[in-house]
């Protein structure tokens, strides 16, 4: 008797499942198709990104290997195009190569390329902060206090690992311009910063003790 009941229940369950599949055949087909399309699109997009990364790597390496002072303009043009690709790896490297080799004399042009990286490139948070810091470092030889603080404020007002570097840059800027009280204030901020870079903290303390009467 119990076995008959089990067989009946099993047949009933199978019948319900079969009826459900028949009634919802179109929806199930559409649902499975959508899932397959999404999976294919995901892996296709991943492959496209990987191929694009390889393409940019090859372009960058070729430009660097073939760089000569006589093809300066060609190098500038190609690296600028790479920067405008907004790639998290090769766009910053392209800008740093331009700066390190003094290929672009127009400071406004360099700053616009920095802005392209900062505002348009999808960078990880601390990589973006590093680019901001490098922009300030580039500008520190010719820009005003106001400009430098505007550049560095996003880092100074955060808990970034580059905060102590930014404070030190401003402190040294003020010290070199004989604004000792302002320099002292920034050096002291570094000393009080819990997660300050240890080397920078030591340098700051030495500057305070040796040159600023601490």
pLDDT in tens, 19-43: 665 776 667 566 666 775 665 665 5
Rounded to the nearest angstrom, the gap between the alpha carbon of residue 26 and the centroid of all alpha carbons in its chain is 45
Supply the pLDDT for residue 16: 66
> Is 157 in the same domain as 210?
yes
Residues 184 and 150 occupy one common structural domain: yes
Whether 59 is covered by a domain: the verdict is no
144 and 210 housed in the same domain:
yes
Q: Per the structure, how many domains does the chain have?
A: 2
pLDDT for the residue numbered 105:
93
Q: Domain for residue 11, yes or no?
A: no
pLDDT of residue 6: 55
Same domain, 143 and 114: no
Within a domain: 41: no
Give me the count of residues in the chain: 214
The CA–CA distances, whole Å, from 161 to 73, 106, 195, 197, 202 equal: 36, 30, 8, 8, 16
Instruction: Say whether both 148 and 186 belong to one domain.
Output: yes
Q: Are residues 145 and 212 in the same domain?
A: yes
Same domain, 118 and 168: no
Instruction: Summarize pLDDT for 116-126 with one digit per residue, the tens.
Output: 999 999 999 99
Buried residues in 145-175 as b, exposed as e (16+ CB within 10 A) = eeebeebbeebbeeebebbbbbbbbbbbbbb
Range of the domain at 183: 139-214
Instruction: List Cβ<8 Å contacts ≥24 apart for 205-210.
Output: 207/171, 207/175, 207/183, 208/184
pLDDT at 32: 62
**143 and 212 belong to one structural domain:** yes
**Please, is 186 exposed, middle or buried when counting C-beta atoms within 10 Å of its C-beta (0-12, 13-18, 19+)?**
buried
State phi, psi for 64 to the nearest 5 degrees: -65, -45
**pLDDT for residue 56:** 85
- In a domain? residue 47: no
- Positions in the chain whose pLDDT score sits under 70: 1-21, 24-26, 28-33, 36-50, 214
Cα–Cα distance measured from residue 156 to residue 41, given in angstroms and rounded to the nearest whole number: 41
165 and 191 belong to one structural domain: yes
Q: Verify that 157 and 115 share a domain, yes or no.
A: no
């Amino acid at each position: 008797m119990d076995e008959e009941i089990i067989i009946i229940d099993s047949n009933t369950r199978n019948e319900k499942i079969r009826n459900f599949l028949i009634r919802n055949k179109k929806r199930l087909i559409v649902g499975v198709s959508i899932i397959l399309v999404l999976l294919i699109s995901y892996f296709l997009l991943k492959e496209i990104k990987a191929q694009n990364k390889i393409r940019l790597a090859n372009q960058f390496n070729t430009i660097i290997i073939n760089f000569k002072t006589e093809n300066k303009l060609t190098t500038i043009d190609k690296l600028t195009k790479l920067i405008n690709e907004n790639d998290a790896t090769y766009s910053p490297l392209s800008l740093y190569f331009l700066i390190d080799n003094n290929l672009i004399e127009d400071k406004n042009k360099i700053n616009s390329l920095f802005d392209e990286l900062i505002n348009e490139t999808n960078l990880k948070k601390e990589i973006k902060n590093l680019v901001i810091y490098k922009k300030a470092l580039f500008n520190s030889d010719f820009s005003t206090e106001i400009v430098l603080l505007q550049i560095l404020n996003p880092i100074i007002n955060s808990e970034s690992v580059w905060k102590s570097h930014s404070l030190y840059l401003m402190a040294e800027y003020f010290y070199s311009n004989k604004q000792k009280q302002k320099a002292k204030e920034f050096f002291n901020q570094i000393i009080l910063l819990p997660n300050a870079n240890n080397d920078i903290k030591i340098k700051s303390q030495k500057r305070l003790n040796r040159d600023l009467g601490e």
